[in-house]
Chains A and B, each alone.
Chain A
Amino acid sequence: MKKSLVIASAIIVLIVVICIIMVVPLMSPGKVTDLELKEYNGTTLSPISLFRENSISGPQTVELSQYRLRIDGLVKNPASYTYEQVLTLFQSEKRLTTLSCVEGWDVTVLWEGVRVRDILNDSQLQNSGNTVIFHSVDGYTTSFPIENVINNNYLLAYKVNNLILPQERGYPLALVADGKWGYKWARWVDKITVTNDPSYRGYWESRGYAQDGDLNKSFYD
């Protein structure tokens, strides 16, 4: 009786210790660097360190001298932009918005980027195009109906909380897809393809997550 009580107590203590070890880092408020913006228009911003790393292959290292943002598919003028060109050719916009992850965490931060709509318009969309696919350097993809991208003013962000996008947040360019679950916010975007295939499914969409990824709907298919 005493022996089993000792074993049971030991197991309980072990489980509690494991839980504490796993939960404590998640409860810490996160470090804010001096340069990071902490508040915007009266809204307290989440520190960048509160984002959790859940990319498919870990943070990607992108060499800026080699980097190009390519636009191809059903466009009249396929294009290839350097990082500098993206920042200078298109008008920038700031947007305070919340990224909600299917894992249960969220962050409200200030994004700064260029409108995807402007980039697509620069390449002149063909009438037959109805779907936009975002490709990342790690092979990640996600797609949206074209009207979704245009009407919701999605951004390709290059700054977060007034800092150049950190490597783990998708440097050099990350998609800000308002109203969508976090898995639709592609990071390290290096190609945008316009297609006429609305059935295309991206990385997580082909692994059981919803195609539309709307925040007000279930993220399961």
Chain B
Amino acid sequence: MTIKGVGRQLIAWALLVITVIYLITGFAVTQFRIFTPISGGYLGKAVTQQLHEILWLPFIILLVLHVGPVIIRRYKVR
């Protein structure tokens, strides 16, 4: 696999991880009564809310990096 290919894979996996964390932290804010005990009390409402509010930037960056090259390539082919 080329360096470009490895980079693409890394971005894709990072995006998947961030997306899952983003969903879970959002759920953890509104459903803290369920989530806080599940996390053993370590991931309380305040912590997960802070995480959730921070994650939008890496999410957008990774999404653009993931989708951008595909769109550009499509237009170039046409």
Summarize B's interface: helix, strand, loop or mixed.
Answer: helix
Bound-state Cα–Cα, A208 to B49, Å: 10
Any A CB within 8 A of the CB of B46: yes
Interface bracket on B: 10 to 19
Instruction: Determine if B30 and A208 form an interchain contact, defined as CB atoms under 8 angstroms apart.
Output: no
Instruction: Determine if A207 and B30 form an interchain contact, defined as CB atoms under 8 angstroms apart.
Output: no
Instruction: Determine if A207 and B33 form an interchain contact, defined as CB atoms under 8 angstroms apart.
Output: no
The one of B44, B47, B49 in contact with A102, judged by C-beta atoms closer than 8 angstroms, is B49
Number of A-B residue pairs at CB separation under 8 A: 24
The one of B33, B46, B47, B49 in contact with A56, judged by C-beta atoms closer than 8 angstroms, is B33
16 extra interface residue pairs, beta carbon distance < 8 Å, beyond A52-B30, A207-B44, A220-B46: A54-B32, A57-B33, A58-B33, A102-B49, A103-B30, A103-B49, A204-B45, A204-B46, A207-B45, A207-B46, A208-B44, A208-B45, A208-B46, A208-B47, A208-B50, A220-B50
Q: List residues of chain B with CB under 8 Å of any chain A CB.
A: 29-30, 32-33, 44-47, 49-50
